[in-house]
Structure 1
Amino acid sequence: MSPRAAHRAAVTIVVVATSISVLAVLLILAAWRNDHTIESDMGTATAEVLSAGSLRSAVSFVTPDGITHNPVLGVLYPTKLTAGQRIDVEYARSEPDLVRVAGRDARVAIVPAGSVIVVTWLITLPTLLILRRKSPTRSS
Structure 2
Amino acid sequence: MIARRLRQLVIVLYGAVVLMSIGMVGAAIMNDHAISSNPGRALARVTNEDWLRTTVEFQDERGIFHVPPSGLLYPSDLGVGQRVWVNYSTANPDLVKVEGRNWTLAVIPALSVFTVASAIGAGLWWFIGHSSKIRALDTLSQPVRQTSKAH
1:54 to partner: Cα distance: 4.2
Tell me, yes or no, if the aligned pair for 1:55 and 1:78 is still in contact at 8 Å. no
1:113 match:
110
Q: Which runs of 5+ in 2 are unaligned?
A: 140-151
Sequence identity percentage? 34
What is the alpha-carbon distance in structure 2 between the residues aligned to residue 94 and residue 129 of structure 1?
50
1:130 match:
127
Q: Which runs of 5+ in 1 are unaligned?
A: none
What is the alpha-carbon distance in structure 2 between the residues aligned to residue 55 and residue 27 of structure 1?
15
2:38 to 37, 41, 52: 41
Corresponding residue pairs, total: 136
Q: TM-score, normalised by structure 1?
A: 0.91
2:82 match:
85
Once the two structures are overlaid, the 10-residue window that deviates more, 23-32 or 129-138, is 129-138
The CA RMSD measured in Å over matched residues stands at 1.6
Q: TM-score, normalised by structure 2?
A: 0.85
2:54 match:
57
1:57 to partner: Cα distance: 0.4
Question: Can you list the C-alpha shifts for 1:84-137, whole angstroms capped at 9, x where unaligned?
Answer: 000000001111111001111111110001110011011111210121122548
Tell me, yes or no, if the aligned pair for 1:54 and 1:79 is still in contact at 8 Å. no
1:17 to partner: Cα distance: 1.2
SS of residue in 1 equivalent to 2:44: strand
Q: Which has the larger radius of gyration?
A: 2
What is the alpha-carbon distance in structure 2 between the residues aligned to residue 133 and residue 112 of structure 1?
32
Letter in 2 for 1:121: S
1:15 match:
12
